[in-house]
C-alpha cells in the first residue's frame, strides 16, 4: 500500500464516519425523513473529510517521538475544537437552508466532532509511523549497499590485477606438472581474497590479524617468485595485540614485492618487524630494490595512499617515513598505541 492510497482511505474513512454519525443523529434524535437526513448530512461530511485529511499537517508538525506530550495535546485539542466547530457551523448553515431547522444538541455534536477528529489523528499518527519505519528500513538498506560498495571499491583498489593474473598463470602452470600444488595455490588465493574482503569492512583489527593476511599474500608470491623471495617477520607480543586499521601493511608489502624483490635479478629478503613499548607501535619494512628500476606511477601512489590513510586515522599523530639508499628501501611507521 503506498502513501497516496493510505491517505485516500483515511479521508474516505473520515467522510463515511462523519456522514454516518450525522445522518443517524438527524434521523433518530430529530426524527427526519431518512432521505432528507442523509442529504442534509452528506455535504458537511465531505467538508469534514477534507478537515480530516488536513489533520495530517498538525500531526506531521508534532511528531510523537520528538514532541512533548503537552505540545501534542495542546495542538490537537485546539485543532479538534476548530475542526468540529467548522463542521457544525457548515452543517447548521446547510441544514437551515435545506430544511429550515437547526441542530438541537450542539454540545453533544461538538464532542462527537472532536472525537471523530481524534480518530483521524490516531490514524494519521499510525500511517506516519508506518512511513517512518519504512523509510528507516530503506535508509538502512541503502547504507548497507553503500558499505558493500565501499568494501568492493577498497577490495578492487587493493587487488592488483597484475598480481591476480600472474597468480592464475602460476595455477595454470602447476596444473600440468603438480596438480596437488595447483590446488594448494588456488586455496591460498581464495583464503587471501576472502580474508581481504572480511577485514576490509572492519574498523580496526589486531596487528596479528594483519600480519596473518600479509603472510598469506607472501605465501602466494613465494609460489610465483620461488627462491628469489625470502621473508623474515618479527612481531613482539605487545605489538601483536595492538589494534590497527585493516590493510595497513598489505599494500606496503605488495610494493616491497612488486617494486623491490621483482626488480632484483637475485631477489632478496623482505624484513617486517613490529614492536610496541612506551605507548608507541613501531613497524618497519625493509627490502632490497634496484635503484635503477623503472619507476612505476603506482609505486608512489601506494605509498601516498598509505601515508594519507595513516594520517587520517591517527589525526596526524602517526609518523610515516620512507627511505631509499644503498639499494635498500625502508618504510617506518610509528603510531601512538
- Pick between residue 141 and residue 296 the one whose CB is nearest to another protein: 296
Alpha helices (H) along 206-314? 207-225, 237-241, 250-255, 297-313
The yes or no reply on residue 301 touching another protein (CB under 8 A) is: no
The yes or no reply on residue 26 touching another protein (CB under 8 A) is: no
Residues in Cβ contact with 320 at an 8 Å cutoff, skipping those fewer than 6 apart? 306, 307, 310, 311, 331, 332, 333
Residues in Cβ contact with 45 at an 8 Å cutoff, skipping those fewer than 6 apart? 15, 16, 18, 19, 22
The yes or no reply on residue 100 touching another protein (CB under 8 A) is: no
Select the span of 93-101, 131-139, 162-170, 201-209 touching another protein (CB under 8 A): 162-170
Separation between Cα atoms, residue 195 and residue 199, nearest integer Å = 6
Separation between Cα atoms, residue 104 and residue 92, nearest integer Å = 10
Cell numbers describing residue 293 = 628500476
Binding mask 172-211 for another protein (x = CB under 8 A): xxx-xx----------------------------------
Q: Report in angstroms how near the CB of residue 254 gets to another protein at its nearest.
A: 14
Separation between Cα atoms, residue 143 and residue 139, nearest integer Å = 6
SS3 content of the chain, % helix, strand, coil (to 5): 70, 15, 15
- Pick between residue 132 and residue 164 the one whose CB is nearest to another protein: 164
Select the span of 14-22, 81-89, 129-137, 284-292 touching another protein (CB under 8 A): 284-292
Q: Report in angstroms how near the CB of residue 169 gets to another protein at its nearest.
A: 4
The yes or no reply on residue 101 touching another protein (CB under 8 A) is: no
Q: Which of 195, 203, 209, 211 is nearest to 158 (CA)?
A: 195
- Pick between residue 134 and residue 183 the one whose CB is nearest to another protein: 183
φ, ψ of residue 88 to 5 degrees: the values are -65, -40
Separation between Cα atoms, residue 155 and residue 200, nearest integer Å = 7
Residues numbered 55 to 74 that lie near another protein (CB under 8 A) are none
- Pick between residue 94 and residue 225 the one whose CB is nearest to another protein: 225
- Pick between residue 15 and residue 270 the one whose CB is nearest to another protein: 270
Residues numbered 248 to 267 that lie near another protein (CB under 8 A) are 262-265
Residues composing the chain: 337
Helices vs. strands in the chain: H and E counts, helices first: 11, 7
Q: Report in angstroms how near the CB of residue 207 gets to another protein at its nearest.
A: 31
- Pick between residue 159 and residue 233 the one whose CB is nearest to another protein: 159
Q: Report in angstroms how near the CB of residue 259 gets to another protein at its nearest.
A: 11
Select the span of 7-15, 72-80, 84-92, 285-293 touching another protein (CB under 8 A): 285-293
In the chain, which ranges are E strands? 205-206, 229-235, 243-244, 268-277, 280-288, 319-325, 328-336
Select the span of 7-15, 57-65, 248-256, 286-294 touching another protein (CB under 8 A): 286-294
Select the span of 46-54, 150-158, 204-212, 288-296 touching another protein (CB under 8 A): 288-296
Residues contributing to the site for another protein (CB under 8 A): 161-162, 165-166, 168-174, 176-177, 223-226, 228, 262-265, 290-295
Amino acid at each position: 500500500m503506498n502513501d497516496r492510497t493510505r491517505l485516500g482511505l483515511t479521508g474516505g474513512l473520515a467522510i463515511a464516519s462523519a456522514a454516518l454519525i450525522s445522518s443517524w443523529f438527524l434521523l433518530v434524535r430529530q426524527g427526519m425523513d431518512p432521505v432528507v437526513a442523509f442529504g442534509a448530512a452528506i455535504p458537511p461530511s465531505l467538508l469534514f473529510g477534507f478537515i480530516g485529511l488536513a489533520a495530517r499537517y498538525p500531526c506531521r508538525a508534532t511528531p510523537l517521538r520528538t514532541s512533548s506530550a503537552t505540545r501534542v495535546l495542546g495542538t490537537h485539542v485546539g485543532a479538534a475544537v476548530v475542526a468540529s466547530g467548522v463542521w457544525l457551523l457548515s452543517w447548521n448553515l446547510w441544514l437551515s437552508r435545506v430544511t429550515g431547522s437547526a441542530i438541537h444538541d450542539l454540545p453533544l455534536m461538538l464532542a462527537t466532532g472532536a472525537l471523530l477528529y481524534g480518530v483521524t489523528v490516531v490514524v494519521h499518527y499510525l500511517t506516519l509511523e508506518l512511513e517512518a519505519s519504512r523509510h528507516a528500513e530503506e535508509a538502512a538498506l541503502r547504507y548497507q549497499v553503500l558499505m558493500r560498495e565501499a568494501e568492493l571499491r577498497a577490495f578492487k583498489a587493493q587487488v592488483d590485477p597484475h598480481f591476480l593474473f600472474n597468480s592464475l598463470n602460476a595455477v595454470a602452470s602447476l596444473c600440468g606438472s603438480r596438480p596437488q600444488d595447483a590446488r594448494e595455490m588456488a586455496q591460498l588465493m581464495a583464503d587471501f581474497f576472502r580474508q581481504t574482503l572480511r577485514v576490509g569492512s572492519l574498523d580496526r583489527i589486531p596487528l596479528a590479524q594483519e600480519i596473518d593476511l600479509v603472510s598469506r599474500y607472501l605465501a602466494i608470491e613465494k609460489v610465483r617468485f620461488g627462491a628469489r623471495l625470502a621473508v623474515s617477520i618479527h612481531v613482539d607480543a605487545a605489538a601483536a595485540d595492538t589494534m590497527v586499521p585493516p590493510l595497513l601493511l598489505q599494500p606496503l608489502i605488495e610494493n616491497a614485492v612488486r617494486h623491490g624483490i621483482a626488480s632484483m635479478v637475485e631477489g632478496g629478503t623482505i624484513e617486517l618487524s613490529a614492536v610496541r613499548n612506551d605507548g608507541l607501535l613501531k613497524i618497519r619494512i625493509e627490502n632490497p630494490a634496484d635503484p635503477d628500476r623503472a619507476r612505476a606511477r603506482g609505486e608512489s601512489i601506494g605509498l601516498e595512499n598509505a601515508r594519507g590513510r595513516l594520517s587520517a586515522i591517527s589525526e596526524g599523530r602517526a609518523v610515516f617515513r620512507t627511505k631509499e639508499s644503498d639499494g635498500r628501501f625502508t618504510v617506518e611507521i610509528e603510531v601512538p598505541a
